[in-house]
A and B are shown apart, each in its own frame.
Chain A
Amino acid sequence: MARYRVLTGLDYPPNKRAEIGDIVEDLPAQSVKWLLADGHIEDADKPKKVVAEEPAPTPAKKAVEFKPDAKDGDKDGLVQDATIHERPVEEK
């Protein structure tokens, strides 16, 4: 018997109530079509639609003054880290 996940609270005969998230398998046959079409239920045996998470936005780089003699304080090979002037350490 088909099983459906309830997406909108609903009442159905005889005097039954299903809340959001309930799994039901005794919905009236004549109601299933329009409940599916209107998005009030979904097939419980199909995996839930997973909405892909958007990648976290890259933090904006700080607008700071350009320092020609900037030093690599944290020894990561970059100077003026996380700024618009971030660049590799120049070899001397």
Chain B
Amino acid sequence: MPTFRHGKNTVVLAKQYNISEYLTSVTASNSVETPETTTFSSSDRSYIAGHTEGTVSFEGLFDGTTNGVTVGATADGIDKILSDALGDSTNTVMTVSNDGGAFGRRAILLDAVETSYEVTSPLTDVIAISGGANANDGLEYGVWLTYNTAYTTATNGTAVDNSASSANGSVANLHVTTNTRSTAVTVKVQHSTDNSTWVDLITFASVSATTLTSERKTTTGTVNRYVRVQVTPTAGTGSITLSVAFSRR
């Protein structure tokens, strides 16, 4: 029996922002160029797989709130976030989950280079935004190791079982969307063969007190069968809310 999902639970994280609440539509597309290799004496056309290309396009509703400018604002709205990202030399760590934001749900990871951003003002409707991005290195399909979870103490996440190890490395996206910690926090992805002893696979840069951030890290080589996230706040107060998506290559 298939398990269908409603689109309302789709989540989109870009850098340290959860921009889901601004968007009404998101499309993640992956394709591969297939140069033709048909030659004389062939009866059928033949092709060979070439480069893959991933893109994301989105539509949503305009919010011009600007932190530090708009009175009472504590965070930027979608217009500031997306207009800043356009042309930015630093790519955007982006994770899209049509499957919804929850542990183990499918997630699409990308190192996004924003290619367009439009704001449309209709005479009789809500101001809308739309845009798109190319995926540097393509789209990577993985799962959430943790989604929008608040941590106050050292925590080992639940293991994701891939049923076998893989040999081609991995990629992980970290999004820290809320942070009131008074001290730094270490976030790692660990892997294991036996779901008992865990070895560090990815260690993200230490997240400083109250800092909102995002980071994308890759590995090469073996990734063992089980994978989990480990969050370790140093002694202090407050909480940190973060999401980590992980994909094997």
Contact = CB atoms under 8 A, between A and B. Distances in A.
A28 interface: yes
A89 interface: no
B222 A31 contact: no
Given A11-B190, A11-B230, A38 B197 contact: no
Contact of A35 (B156, B199, B203): B199
Interface in B192-242: 193-194, 196-200, 203, 222, 224, 230
A31 B200 contact: no
A8 B198 CA distance: 10
Nearest to B188: A9
A3 interface: no
B156 A31 contact: no
A35 to B, nearest CB: 7
Interface in A1-60: 8-13, 27-28, 30-31, 34-35, 38, 40
A10 B196 contact: no
Nearest to A15: B156
Contacts of A13: 196-197
A5 to B, nearest CB: 14
A50 to B, nearest CB: 24
B196 A28 contact: yes
Contact of A11 (B193, B194, B198, B224): B198
Contact of A8 (B156, B196, B200, B230): B200
Contacts of A11: 156, 190, 197-198, 230
Contacts of B197: 10-13, 27-28, 31, 35
B199 A8 contact: yes
B200 A9 contact: yes
B222 A10 contact: no
8 contacts: A11-B198, A13-B197, A28-B197, A30-B196, A31-B196, A34-B193, A35-B197, A38-B199
8 nearest A-B pairs in the assembled complex, by CB-CB distance: A31-B197, A12-B197, A9-B200, A34-B193, A11-B198, A10-B199, A40-B199, A8-B199
